[in-house]
Chains A and B, each alone.
Chain A
Amino acid sequence: MDFKRTIRRSVIQPLYGDLEDLYPHNLQLYTTPPNFEISLRELEECTSQRLAILQTMEEVLNRGLKGDDWRQTVFSELRKQDLRNFRKLITSTSFSNDEELYAARKQDHISHFMLRLAYCDSEDKRRWFIARELELFKFKWHYLNQSERQQFLKINNFNYDVVQETEKLELSRNSLGMVQTSTEYYKVPFVTVSDLVRARKVYLSKGMAFIVSEDMSSVIASVYRSSLSKSLAFAARRIDDIAEDTRIFSLVKGAAKRERDVDYTPANNGKVDINNLDTLAKISFPLCMQQLHQRLRKEHHLKHFARLQYILFIKGIGVTLEDALRFWKSEFTKKMDPEKFDKSHAYNVRHSYGKVGKMANYSPQSCLKIINSNVGPSEAHGCPFKHQDQSTLKKNLLQNGLSSIDSQEVLDFVRRGHYQIACGIYFQKMHGVDKVIINHPNHYFDESQMVLNNKTIKSEIKEENATHPKKSAVKNDEQDVWGNDSGFDFNSFTEIN
């Protein structure tokens, strides 16, 4: 018997041929990996450019901008950066010559695959990368004209049936007029347009969705999403293969490190005294966390997603595991017997702190995650600016001391879907400062603490007796609305400094 290990390695043939044939279109679905000779410098350059584009898109999104606002801001932000060819490519601006055009398409291709490697090795990274690439895809699609779009569909074999007139009549009747006889419809499997399904923007019948041509980008995006997701999972299994090549590997690792995702690394471990939580909730918590705190203190219970959102936040501000456990227990056991608490909830708290189970050190949730969470009946998590109806929100704003003009200003942004800006305005009004960008509840907290500390110092220097209006509000709340029936000594409250 032959025990020799046969190594079967398929050698990928370099892609020969004209660039025109390889890159017939500005918009690519990146189905084949690149196989060229390329200088390391160029490789590094185009990788970091693509990363810069993706990060810009996310940053603008985190400001709460959407649709046209988002696109325009991304556009102007990209102008500020040195990304000339890339920017031209993704906005379908014409190039001065074909050579430049094809070079740009080639860099687009290569940089996409480089980032695949950089963002394949954890679920979080993969999710981040897929979301960004889809934004980029939709961004590019927007700038294509009608004939470029048709050409793209043809190249990539998106051939869907146009619904015939007779069928359309029947559909129109069954859909109660949602399908209009005057418009052209395509018939596609519902899985390819699940975004539209989710938003109830399409008519569904027997597993088929009926979409208009403008919605075709959703179809392509979902095909792209699923192929990308599969490719990333595949890359994750094979990533070790490239570890041998230190030049590429260090480049890839470098790109992954520059991920400026919404991650928040707590700076002040163990700094926050649990006894100050009620006060801090009043003066330094963003509205989303303040409400969770109040809910927990009032109802002595939070549902799953609310627990998660809140515990990670207080972990982030520097509440120790021991304190968090004590706090959780004292609240929950007002309604639940301690044994049950120890069995299920204590585990969850430890889990969130990364002390049991998977031992993963979960980061506090970002605004984006909170805004995008789904809030069902009687759930308390989420972003109040998004998930709360406006009259309740207004009431809460007024209760927290905003004037009705100020709260109107906040609500105006809410109405336009700019939740993070609304939160930023709320911060400004609460702290009497200018311009703040909020993209993470824990940043809100840190920022707030910084502002308040500065104020304390200043007022000490000036020996002013006039207290800040928000601070005097805190003192009144010391006889807290919950009554002092908790296991904590809330009288040990000291001024935060």
Chain B
Amino acid sequence: MVQFSVEQLPELLAVYYKRLFPYELYHRWLSYGQVNPNSFCNREMSFTLAGEVYIRYQSFDKIEDFEKELIKKIPEKIDIGAIYNVKPRQKRMASTFEVEEKELVFDIDMTDYDSVRTCCSDANVCSKCWKFMAIATRILDAALREDFGFNHILWVFSGRRGIHCWVCDEVARKLDSKVRSDVAEYLQLLTREDHTGKIAHLNSEKIHPSIRRALDIIEKDFESACVECQDILGTPSRMNSVLAMMEDGLRQEVETAWETTNTSLERWTVFKKIFNAQQASNKLKKRNKNLIDELMLHFSYPRLDINVTKGSNHLLKSPFCIHPKTGKVCIPFNPSAVSSFDPNAVPTISDLVEEIQQFDAKQGEAIKKGMKNYRKTSMYKSIQVFEEFLRKLEESWKSKYGGSVESMDF
């Protein structure tokens, strides 16, 4: 691996935009089979140039124009906005400027887990805290597919400490802002801290099937990912914060029993035993009836930034752009293999540039021709994830709109 340094970013980006950015695939995605001929050209693109200069409401008629602009401006960051009724760059000339379509998007940021993760803080992410992201991905992916029936979901690592989810089904793209907000609230289970510091509240006896499914997903990993890896009961202060969530009767018994324990896992097991015994003998106060479930949700239910989901004109960082601080590529990943995804193994722009140079040096000019440059790099695996996503997406309108759609082969 080559060390990435921020100073080299402009130079590296110039190579990246010229040789590596997957323009064709990108265009295939954002034109959505030309079912709506304006899908690509009425899309807002926004750039962040060096020195934090933002340019909003860019739009491009052809992918070639987009490519030229990237090579010319070398933006540090690219954001994708909504599809409007007119070309965003001409919005001043239009009498109305309204959002027509936008993917349903979700943003999960590791820093929102700072109150429960003990391995890192702020912008850092390690394989331990990635487990939170893995659980979040599984829960959200299941809800979107099973509850809402969405099929075309693109999961993207944001390049530093978060993940983005793009739901690209036609129904999802056409949701109005009211329904968007309702879907977001349905999925946003966590609330503001109560006086005990707990953010998950299951007040009723009957738990909604969607939450039950989330709990089943969490349960499989909770003891290893949270109790052990995060060592959530490992220090007196961590123990106290969990004890604070218990009513007196439960707390006293648990506190006493914990005196003879040494590890988080032991404490968790002891707590569960006491909890179940008290529940069986009907001793639990109403507020604690669902405490085990609530704690699992408190620690590991997805912490969504739902304002990103609610606003249909909200910008979200584009897949395949480079995170300007880490140099890592914002790459798609397969949600069913999320556990084995390692954020620290994601290639940086320096790696990629080095890789194509090495490849070029080894191979002759002849082979190089006609071969996509990204195939020569460690980015290729995530390109395949993206291609697979596109293949299924294209099937959906081929079956729906038949042959009337322009051929997507390039």
A419 shortest CB reach to chain B, Å: 15
**What residues of chain B have their CB less than 8 Å away from a CB belonging to chain A?**
52, 95-96, 98, 112, 115, 146-150, 171, 175-176, 178-179, 181-183, 185-186, 188, 190-195, 199, 206, 208-212, 303, 306-307
Asked whether, in the complex, the Cβ of A204 is within 8 Å of the Cβ of B147, the reply is yes
CB within 8 Å for A389 and B195 given contacts A207-B171, A376-B306: yes
Q: In the complex, which residues of chain B have a beta carbon less than 8 angstroms from the beta carbon of A226? A: 176, 178
Asked whether, in the complex, the Cβ of A198 is within 8 Å of the Cβ of B186, the reply is yes
Asked whether, in the complex, the Cβ of A175 is within 8 Å of the Cβ of B209, the reply is yes
Report the separation of the CA atoms of residues A200 and B188 in the bound assembly, to the nearest whole angstrom. Answer: 11
Asked whether, in the complex, the Cβ of A204 is within 8 Å of the Cβ of B195, the reply is no
CB within 8 Å for A205 and B175 given contacts A198-B186, A387-B192: no
- Chain A 295-336: CB-based contact to B (< 8 A → 1; otherwise 0): 000000000100000000000000000000000000000000
Asked whether, in the complex, the Cβ of B192 is within 8 Å of the Cβ of A377, the reply is yes
Asked whether, in the complex, the Cβ of A376 is within 8 Å of the Cβ of B192, the reply is yes
Report the separation of the CA atoms of residues A237 and B146 in the bound assembly, to the nearest whole angstrom. Answer: 40
A129 at the interface (CB under 8 A from B): no
- Which residue in chain B gives the minimum CB-CB distance to A377? B199
Report the separation of the CA atoms of residues A237 and B209 in the bound assembly, to the nearest whole angstrom. Answer: 44
Among A47-102, those with CB < 8 Å from B are none
Report the separation of the CA atoms of residues A55 and B210 in the bound assembly, to the nearest whole angstrom. Answer: 39
CB within 8 Å for A197 and B52 given contacts A376-B192, A377-B199: no
Report the separation of the CA atoms of residues A377 and B176 in the bound assembly, to the nearest whole angstrom. Answer: 25
Q: In the complex, which residues of chain B have a beta carbon less than 8 angstroms from the beta carbon of A237? A: 95-96
Asked whether, in the complex, the Cβ of B183 is within 8 Å of the Cβ of A197, the reply is yes
Q: In the complex, which residues of chain B have a beta carbon less than 8 angstroms from the beta carbon of A7? A: none
Q: In the complex, which residues of chain B have a beta carbon less than 8 angstroms from the beta carbon of A376? A: 188, 190-192, 306
Extra contacts besides A233-B98, A391-B194 (10): CB < 8 Å? A176-B212, A190-B147, A198-B186, A205-B146, A207-B150, A226-B178, A376-B190, A376-B191, A377-B192, A382-B192
Q: List 7 A-B contacts (CB under 8 A).
A: A194-B182, A197-B182, A197-B186, A198-B182, A200-B210, A206-B146, A207-B147
Q: In the complex, which residues of chain B have a beta carbon less than 8 angstroms from the beta carbon of A190? A: 147-148
Leading 7 A-B pairs by shortest Cβ distance? A207-B149, A194-B182, A389-B194, A206-B149, A198-B182, A204-B147, A392-B195
Asked whether, in the complex, the Cβ of B209 is within 8 Å of the Cβ of A203, the reply is yes
Q: In the complex, which residues of chain B have a beta carbon less than 8 angstroms from the beta carbon of A389? A: 194-195
A124 shortest CB reach to chain B, Å: 15
B137 shortest CB reach to chain A, Å: 19
A379 at the interface (CB under 8 A from B): yes
A251 at the interface (CB under 8 A from B): no
CB within 8 Å for A200 and B186 given contacts A176-B212, A194-B178: yes
Interface residues on A, range: 35 or more
Report the separation of the CA atoms of residues A299 and B211 in the bound assembly, to the nearest whole angstrom. Answer: 34
Asked whether, in the complex, the Cβ of B208 is within 8 Å of the Cβ of A377, the reply is no
Q: In the complex, which residues of chain A have a beta carbon less than 8 angstroms from the beta carbon of B210? A: 200, 204
Question: Which of A175, A198, A379, A382 is within 8 Å of B185, CB to CB?
Answer: A198
- Chain A 367-388: CB-based contact to B (< 8 A → 1; otherwise 0): 0000000111111001000011
Q: In the complex, which residues of chain A have a beta carbon less than 8 angstroms from the beta carbon of B208? A: 178, 200
Question: Which of B52, B95, B115, B182 is within 8 Å of A343, CB to CB?
Answer: B52
A131 shortest CB reach to chain B, Å: 11
A395 at the interface (CB under 8 A from B): yes
Report the separation of the CA atoms of residues A391 and B52 in the bound assembly, to the nearest whole angstrom. Answer: 45
Question: Which of B193, B211, B307 is within 8 Å of A377, CB to CB?
Answer: B193
A191 at the interface (CB under 8 A from B): yes
Asked whether, in the complex, the Cβ of A229 is within 8 Å of the Cβ of B95, the reply is no
Report the separation of the CA atoms of residues A176 and B192 in the bound assembly, to the nearest whole angstrom. Answer: 28
Report the separation of the CA atoms of residues A376 and B310 in the bound assembly, to the nearest whole angstrom. Answer: 13
Report the separation of the CA atoms of residues A190 and B185 in the bound assembly, to the nearest whole angstrom. Answer: 14
Q: In the complex, which residues of chain A have a beta carbon less than 8 angstroms from the beta carbon of B150? A: 207
Q: In the complex, which residues of chain A have a beta carbon less than 8 angstroms from the beta carbon of B303? A: 377
A255 at the interface (CB under 8 A from B): no
Asked whether, in the complex, the Cβ of B176 is within 8 Å of the Cβ of A229, the reply is yes
Q: In the complex, which residues of chain A have a beta carbon less than 8 angstroms from the beta carbon of B95? A: 237
- Which residue in chain B gives the minimum CB-CB distance to A229? B176
Asked whether, in the complex, the Cβ of A374 is within 8 Å of the Cβ of B306, the reply is yes
A479 at the interface (CB under 8 A from B): no
- Which residue in chain B gives the minimum CB-CB distance to A191? B179
Q: In the complex, which residues of chain B have a beta carbon less than 8 angstroms from the beta carbon of A204? A: 147-148, 210
Report the separation of the CA atoms of residues A304 and B310 in the bound assembly, to the nearest whole angstrom. Answer: 15
Question: Which of B171, B185, B191, B209 is within 8 Å of A191, CB to CB?
Answer: B171
A174 at the interface (CB under 8 A from B): yes
Question: Which of B149, B179, B194, B306 is within 8 Å of A194, CB to CB?
Answer: B179
B199 shortest CB reach to chain A, Å: 5
- Which residue in chain B gives the minimum CB-CB distance to A198? B182
A237 shortest CB reach to chain B, Å: 6
- Which residue in chain B gives the minimum CB-CB distance to A375? B192
Report the separation of the CA atoms of residues A379 and B305 in the bound assembly, to the nearest whole angstrom. Answer: 11
Asked whether, in the complex, the Cβ of B175 is within 8 Å of the Cβ of A191, the reply is yes
Q: In the complex, which residues of chain B have a beta carbon less than 8 angstroms from the beta carbon of A382? A: 192
- Chain A 275-294: CB-based contact to B (< 8 A → 1; otherwise 0): 00000000000000000000
Q: In the complex, which residues of chain A have a beta carbon less than 8 angstroms from the beta carbon of B199? A: 377
B192 shortest CB reach to chain A, Å: 5
A430 at the interface (CB under 8 A from B): no
A208 at the interface (CB under 8 A from B): yes
Report the separation of the CA atoms of residues A198 and B188 in the bound assembly, to the nearest whole angstrom. Answer: 9
- Which residue in chain A gives the minimum CB-CB distance to B189? A200
Report the separation of the CA atoms of residues A455 and B195 in the bound assembly, to the nearest whole angstrom. Answer: 36
A195 at the interface (CB under 8 A from B): yes
CB within 8 Å for A207 and B192 given contacts A175-B209, A176-B212, A197-B186: no
Among A160-207, those with CB < 8 Å from B are 174-178, 190-191, 194-195, 197-198, 200, 203-207
Report the separation of the CA atoms of residues A375 and B306 in the bound assembly, to the nearest whole angstrom. Answer: 10
Question: Which of A176, A208, A379, A395 is within 8 Å of B209, CB to CB?
Answer: A176
A225 at the interface (CB under 8 A from B): yes
- Chain A 125-146: CB-based contact to B (< 8 A → 1; otherwise 0): 0000000000000000000000
Report the separation of the CA atoms of residues A198 and B95 in the bound assembly, to the nearest whole angstrom. Answer: 34
Report the separation of the CA atoms of residues A343 and B54 in the bound assembly, to the nearest whole angstrom. Answer: 12
Report the separation of the CA atoms of residues A191 and B172 in the bound assembly, to the nearest whole angstrom. Answer: 10
B254 shortest CB reach to chain A, Å: 20
Report the separation of the CA atoms of residues A304 and B307 in the bound assembly, to the nearest whole angstrom. Answer: 10
Q: In the complex, which residues of chain A have a beta carbon less than 8 angstroms from the beta carbon of B209? A: 174-176, 178, 203
Among A383-405, those with CB < 8 Å from B are 387-389, 391-392, 395
Question: Which of B171, B175, B194, B211 is within 8 Å of A392, CB to CB?
Answer: B194
- Which residue in chain A gives the minimum CB-CB distance to B188? A376
Question: Which of A225, A233, A379, A391 is within 8 Å of B192, CB to CB?
Answer: A379
Report the separation of the CA atoms of residues A197 and B185 in the bound assembly, to the nearest whole angstrom. Answer: 9
Asked whether, in the complex, the Cβ of A391 is within 8 Å of the Cβ of B147, the reply is no
- Which residue in chain B gives the minimum CB-CB distance to A382? B192
Report the separation of the CA atoms of residues A287 and B208 in the bound assembly, to the nearest whole angstrom. Answer: 34
Report the separation of the CA atoms of residues A391 and B179 in the bound assembly, to the nearest whole angstrom. Answer: 33
Q: In the complex, which residues of chain B have a beta carbon less than 8 angstroms from the beta carbon of A225? A: 178
B187 shortest CB reach to chain A, Å: 10
Q: In the complex, which residues of chain B have a beta carbon less than 8 angstroms from the beta carbon of A391? A: 194-195
- Which residue in chain B gives the minimum CB-CB distance to A391? B195
Report the separation of the CA atoms of residues A176 and B209 in the bound assembly, to the nearest whole angstrom. Answer: 6
Asked whether, in the complex, the Cβ of B190 is within 8 Å of the Cβ of A377, the reply is yes
B295 shortest CB reach to chain A, Å: 15
Q: In the complex, which residues of chain B have a beta carbon less than 8 angstroms from the beta carbon of A375? A: 191-192
Q: In the complex, which residues of chain B have a beta carbon less than 8 angstroms from the beta carbon of A304? A: 307
Report the separation of the CA atoms of residues A206 and B52 in the bound assembly, to the nearest whole angstrom. Answer: 42
Report the separation of the CA atoms of residues A207 and B176 in the bound assembly, to the nearest whole angstrom. Answer: 16
- Chain A 202-218: CB-based contact to B (< 8 A → 1; otherwise 0): 01111110000000000
Q: In the complex, which residues of chain A have a beta carbon less than 8 angstroms from the beta carbon of B146? A: 205-206
Q: In the complex, which residues of chain B have a beta carbon less than 8 angstroms from the beta carbon of A206? A: 146-149
Asked whether, in the complex, the Cβ of A208 is within 8 Å of the Cβ of B192, the reply is no
Report the separation of the CA atoms of residues A302 and B212 in the bound assembly, to the nearest whole angstrom. Answer: 34
- Which residue in chain A gives the minimum CB-CB distance to B179? A194
Report the separation of the CA atoms of residues A478 and B115 in the bound assembly, to the nearest whole angstrom. Answer: 33
- Which residue in chain A gives the minimum CB-CB distance to B52? A343
B125 shortest CB reach to chain A, Å: 19
Q: In the complex, which residues of chain A have a beta carbon less than 8 angstroms from the beta carbon of B52? A: 343
